Amino acid sequence: MFLNHRTPVLPTPEQALRGRPVPEFTVPSRHTVLGNPLVGPYPEGLEVADFALGCFWGAERKFWQTEGVWTTLVGYQGGYTENPTYEEACSGLTGHTEAVRVVFDPAVVSYEELLKLFWESHNPTQGFRQGNDVGTQYRSAIYTHSPAQAAAADASREAYQKVLTASGHQEITTEILPAEGRPFWPAEAYHQQYLDKNPAGYCGIGGTGVSCPIGVAPAEG
Decide if 144 contacts 153 (C-beta within 8 A). Answer: yes
Q: How far apart are CA 144 and CA 49, in angstroms?
A: 7
Task: Name the catalytic one among 55, 90, 203, 212.
Answer: 55
Task: Give burial (CB, 10 Å; 0-12/13-18/19+) of 200.
Answer: exposed
212 is catalytic: no
Q: Where are the alpha helices (DSSP H) in 65-183?
A: 86-90, 111-120, 147-166
Decide if 140 contacts 78 (C-beta within 8 A). Answer: no
Q: How far apart are CA 8 and CA 181, in angstroms?
A: 24
List, by residue number, the catalytic residues: 55
